[in-house]
Amino acid sequence: MKRQLIERELTPEGPRRGAIKGGERPRRSVTVNLAESPLAWLHARGHLSERLYDAGEALRSDYERAQLSANITMRWDPVRVKTTGERGFSPSEKQIAARQRFDGAIRAAGGGLEDILWRVVCAGEGLPEAEKALGWPTRSGKLVLKIALERVAEFYRIT
């Protein structure tokens, strides 16, 4: 995966009050990799075990294979020509199977947990944004996400 690094300001509210040289407090920034998913970020920093990370990636993979995200333009998929030889699964059969696995994993997570799973794993929202959108207390999302990913790991039989 190619890195997409940008600088982001940590204090978007601007200068703070206080006796600072030059009248303004120096702003702090951090380098962010836009290509890194929130799940990968949590895993890389030790907040998620390998098992939970794999469960999240399996869920995201099924979400993408099932093509559940919104399409905003015309589909330009190549047309398949029927050939002789070994019969594999057609693209639509693979899509249906992925949709069934995704739905099963979401059901296995249980009520109330599908929101955080979808937002962080599938939509790529950060935990602070997901917590705010769901009206949850700060720092509660990580715990709830771990519980949901444990159930998803059980569904996918990840050890």
| Residue 17's pLDDT band (cuts 50, 70, 90) | very low
Within the chain, residue ranges assigned H as helices are: 38-44, 50-65, 91-109, 114-117, 127-134, 141-156
- CA 110/CA 108 separation, integer angstroms: 5
- CA 71/CA 107 separation, integer angstroms: 24
Q: Which one-letter amino acid corresponds to residue 69?
A: S
> Per residue in 63-109, pLDDT tens?
988 888 766 666 666 666 666 555 666 778 888 999 999 999 999 99
* Tokens at 84, concatenated: 């002789």
Q: Which domain does 158 fall in, by range?
A: 37-69+93-159
Q: Are residues 19 and 41 in the same domain?
A: no
| Percent of the chain whose predicted confidence (pLDDT) is above 90 | 49
Query: What average pLDDT does the segment 43-47 reach?
Result: 90
Please list, in sequence order, all residues whose beta carbon lies within 8 angstroms of the beta carbon of residue 102, skipping any fewer than 6 positions away.
59, 62, 63, 66, 68
For the chain, give the number of residues: 159
Q: Are residues 147 and 115 in the same domain?
A: yes
Q: Are residues 102 and 64 in the same domain?
A: yes
Q: Are residues 27 and 97 in the same domain?
A: no
Q: Are residues 101 and 63 in the same domain?
A: yes
| Residue 16's pLDDT band (cuts 50, 70, 90) | very low
Whether the Cβ atoms of residue 52 and residue 153 lie closer than 8 Å to each other = yes
**How many folded domains does the chain comprise?**
2
Q: Are residues 58 and 130 in the same domain?
A: yes
| Residue 12's pLDDT band (cuts 50, 70, 90) | very low
- CA 142/CA 127 separation, integer angstroms: 7
What is the structure's pLDDT at 30?
66
Q: Are residues 25 and 101 in the same domain?
A: no
Q: Are residues 41 and 25 in the same domain?
A: no
| Residue 44's pLDDT band (cuts 50, 70, 90) | confident
Q: Are residues 133 and 120 in the same domain?
A: yes
Phi, psi dihedrals of residue 20, rounded to the nearest 5°: -120, 140
Does residue 20 belong to any structural domain of this protein? Answer: yes
What is the structure's pLDDT at 90?
74
With vertex at residue 129, the alpha carbon angle to CA 14 and CA 59, rounded to the nearest 5 degrees, is 150
Classify burial at 37, counting beta carbons within 10 Å of its beta carbon; exposed 0-12, middle 13-18, buried 19 or more: middle
Does residue 13 belong to any structural domain of this protein? Answer: yes
Q: Are residues 3 and 64 in the same domain?
A: no
Q: Are residues 23 and 42 in the same domain?
A: no
Does residue 101 belong to any structural domain of this protein? Answer: yes
Q: Are residues 1 and 47 in the same domain?
A: no
